[in-house]
Amino acid sequence: MARKKFEQLDLKDAFLFSAALEDPEACRLILELFLGYPIANITVHAEHSILLSSDFKSVRLDIYASDELSVGYNMEMQNEKENNLPMRSRYYQSELDIAALKPGEDYNDMKPGYIIFICTFDPFGKGLYKYTFENRCLETDMPLGDKTIKIFFNTKGTNPEDVSEELLAFLAYVEDSTDSCAEKTQSETVHKIHNRIKELKKNREMGAKFML
């Protein structure tokens, strides 16, 4: 299959996704849409690499962001259906946790962490647009309280009544990042992200970087 030209990419392409969300405002808008609460003063690292030792597997994150409260957000675009996403999410969280505390700090000082996958397929086969996981007690359903959340979004969901119209619009835009798709929605988030995408696609340096 011929490789798409940079101007033809949709947001589901990992390169364009990282480039678009490297902008703190774009990243903040998406996180607020995903999590449903306001976020301030985002710092973003695109294609963030973690290598703690040459003896262990390294990790390269599509997007890693933190806010003014030091809450960590890792977002990954996933197009290929793999059965290792639960274990990948566990490994990503553990790698981020290792660097979360400095010597002398208490474990209670650890901040919340979110591992987020945006999938262009249904990762768990239940038809949901959104799957949210946290550690809970099997006997009482009591949350463990370790402040870690893993969320998997599915652009192929079948339960529109359970999610917001804005989230539906964004997930549709992930797969079809065109003017016509953006014009179909009143979502300000989609419109702002689409403007960011159009600016990137006009950038010759970014196009050259994609080709390399």
pLDDT bin (cut points 50, 70, 90) of residue 59 is: low
Q: What is the mean pLDDT of residues 146-164?
A: 97
With respect to residue 191, please indicate whether it lies within any of the assigned structural domains: yes
Q: What is the pLDDT of residues 72-97, one digit of tens each?
A: 999 999 999 988 999 999 988 988 88
pLDDT, the chain, mean: 89
Q: What is the mean pLDDT of residues 4-22?
A: 90
With respect to residue 1, please indicate whether it lies within any of the assigned structural domains: no
Residue 209, pLDDT score: 79
Q: How many residues does the chain have?
A: 212
Angle at 122 between CA 97 and CA 153, to 5 degrees: 45
Counted domains in the chain = 1
pLDDT above 60: residue 1: no
Record the pTM: 0.90
Alpha helices (runs of H) in 7-110, residue ranges in sequence order = 14-21, 24-35, 85-98
In 38-137, beta strands by DSSP E: 43-50, 59-66, 72-78, 113-119, 130-133
Q: What is the mean pLDDT of residues 153-168?
A: 97
Q: What is the pLDDT of residues 130-154, one digit of tens each?
A: 999 999 999 999 999 999 999 999 9
With respect to residue 71, please indicate whether it lies within any of the assigned structural domains: yes
Residue 78, pLDDT score: 95
Q: What is the span of the domain harbouring residue 60?
A: 6-100+109-211
Place of tokens 């405002």: 25
With respect to residue 150, please indicate whether it lies within any of the assigned structural domains: yes
Distance in angstroms (rounded) separating the CA atoms of residues 132 and 125: 14
